[in-house]
């Protein structure tokens, strides 16, 4: 994974009550075995997840100060071949005071506090240069709220703790990257937030992220807000007043971008190869299209941060977590690891 001398990636375990521990074990005992990744989480929870998944890895608890010495040699391939010996999972073991017994498959304040601590530790290590970036496991927004932690999600935590004001969540699937002008807000509030400056900022951030992924001269489209992208004002005038001016300014910057295009057709055009990226106005415009196409392999990338951050494209899946049915798939996590490695190679 990468070349010698580069700091390792960190993988936050996610909410202890969700599928994060299980998919981490499956990935690190499978295709990502030997990948040079360090888990930030609770070692006991990870051991329980390994048992329920039918794996018997060796757990190596490491100090954060020793990260730079863990991996002296790396495979040139993104994923190393699975070792014939028992896989090793390196972990920075973080426990809550009192080491509470976490519940399974439900929202819980202790789980929210723990998941938050894993994230903060990973951010601090990456900002200090001891780690090259963070891949995040799924967390529960409700558990964060129960713990009194006032963030709507991962993206906002990373932005706040890295002092980043200009950032965006980009979802990558099948070579198409999608940025959202609005995300975790009510639909009523989202419509009010569609302003020229905000749309332009997302166009610029998406263009930067596509370039960072190695796409030269990316072709981009901007999706409309209203049905048929407003139909020249017949179904709403946000496109005319706010979105078109943003596109015009982006073109003046030299960005190859078209739109606004109808939200119900622009994704199909992109996946046929017409566009490398789409700026979507609403959370569900983008994510319904993407997750309906392929729920398992999408990756979230937070762009604009001073550190690398990728994430699985799904949530905690409380309904299937910790039931021993083998339903929790690690495929999205593997895609997130691969994306982080790709960004890491270009960053060092």
Domain count, the chain: 2
What lies within 8 Å, CB to CB, of 265 at 6+ separation is none
Q: Is residue 298 in a domain?
A: no
Per-residue pLDDT of the chain (348 residues; tens, 9 = 90+): 444 457 899 999 999 999 999 999 999 998 887 778 999 999 999 999 999 999 999 999 988 766 766 665 444 344 444 445 678 999 999 998 887 889 999 999 999 999 999 999 999 999 999 999 999 999 999 999 999 999 988 989 999 999 998 888 888 888 899 999 998 889 999 999 999 999 999 999 899 888 877 788 899 999 999 999 989 999 999 999 999 999 999 999 999 999 999 999 999 999 999 999 999 999 999 889 888 888 777 888 888 899 999 999 888 999 999 987 667 889 989 989 988 887 765 543
Give domain status of residue 309, yes or no: yes
DSSP 197-257: HHHHHHHHHHHHHHHHTT-SS--EEEE-SSGGGGTTTTT-SHIIIIIHHHHHHHHHTT--E
Token pair, residue 3, equals 């070349």
The boundaries of the domain holding residue 129 are 1-166+305-348
Span 231-275, pLDDT tens digits = 999 999 999 999 999 999 999 999 999 999 999 999 999 999 999
Buried b (16+ CB within 10 A) or exposed e, 261-277: bbbeebbeebbeeebbb
52 plus 148 within the same structural domain = yes
User: Is the same domain home to 23 and 162?
Assistant: yes
Report the CATH number at residue 269. 3.40.718.10
What are the strands, taking DSSP E only, across 94-234? Answer: 133-136, 168-173, 176-180, 220-223
Picking from 151, 277, 150, 259, the residue whose alpha carbon sits closest to that of residue 213 is 277
Based on the fold, state whether residues 230 and 326 are members of the same structural domain.
no
- Structural domain includes residue 341: yes
Q: Are residues 92 and 60 in the same domain?
A: yes
Q: Are 303 and 164 in contact (CB under 8 A)?
A: no
Residue 117 lies in a domain: yes
At residue 341's C-alpha, the angle toward residues 289 and 209, to 5°, is 50
Q: What pLDDT is attached to residue 70?
A: 64
Beta bridge partners of 37: 9
Q: Within this chain, do residues 99 and 150 fall inside the same structural domain, yes or no?
A: yes
pLDDT of residue 297: 78
Strand-pair category, 176-180 with 168-173? antiparallel
Task: Compute how many other C-beta atoms are within 10 angstroms of the C-beta atom of residue 256.
Answer: 14
User: Do β-strands 277-280 and 220-223 pair in parallel, antiparallel, or remain unpaired?
Assistant: parallel
**Backbone phi, psi, residue 130, to 5°:** -75, -20
Same domain, 243 and 286: yes
The verdict on 105 and 158 lying in the same domain is: yes
Yes or no: say if 182 and 193 are a contact pair by the CB < 8 Å rule: yes
Both 142 and 219 in one domain: the answer is: no
């Amino acid at each position: 994974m990468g070349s010698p001398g580069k700091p390792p990636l960190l993988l936050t375990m996610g909410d202890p009550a969700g599928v994060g521990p299980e998919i981490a074990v499956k990935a690190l005992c499978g295709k990502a075995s030997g990948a040079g990744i360090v888990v930030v989480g609770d070692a006991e929870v990870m051991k329980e997840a390994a048992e329920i998944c039918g794996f018997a890895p060796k757990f190596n608890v490491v100090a954060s100060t020793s990260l730079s010495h863990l991996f002296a040699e790396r495979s040139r391939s993104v994923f190393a071949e699975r070792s014939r010996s028992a896989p090793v999972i390196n972990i920075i073991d973080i426990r809550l005071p009192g080491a509470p017994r976490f519940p399974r498959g439900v929202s819980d304040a202790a789980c929210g506090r723990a998941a938050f601590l894993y994230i903060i530790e990973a951010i601090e290590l990456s900002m200090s240069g001891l780690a090259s970036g963070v891949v995040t496991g799924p967390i529960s927004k409700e558990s964060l709220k129960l713990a009194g932690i006032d963030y709507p999600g991962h993206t906002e935590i990373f932005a706040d703790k890295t002092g980043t004001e200009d950032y965006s969540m980009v979802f990558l699937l099948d070579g198409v990257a999608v940025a959202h002008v609005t995300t975790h807000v009510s639909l009523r509030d989202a419509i009010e937030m569609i302003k020229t400056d905000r749309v332009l900022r997302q166009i610029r951030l998406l263009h930067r992220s596509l370039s960072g992924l190695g796409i030269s001269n990316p072709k981009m489209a901007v999706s409309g807000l209203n049905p048929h992208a407003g139909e020249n004002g017949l179904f709403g005038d946000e496109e005319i007043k706010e979105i078109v001016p943003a596109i015009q300014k982006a073109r003046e910057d030299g960005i190859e971008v078209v739109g606004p295009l109808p939200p119900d057709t622009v994704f199909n055009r992109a996946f046929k190869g017409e566009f490398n990226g789409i700026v979507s106005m609403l959370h569900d415009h983008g994510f319904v299209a993407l997750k309906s196409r392929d729920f398992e392999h999408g990756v979230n990338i937070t762009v604009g941060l001073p550190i690398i951050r990728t994430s699985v494209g799904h949530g905690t899946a409380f309904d299937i977590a910790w039931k021993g049915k083998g339903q929790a798939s690690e495929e999205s996590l593997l895609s997130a690891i691969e994306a982080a490695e790709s960004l890491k190679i270009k960053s060092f």
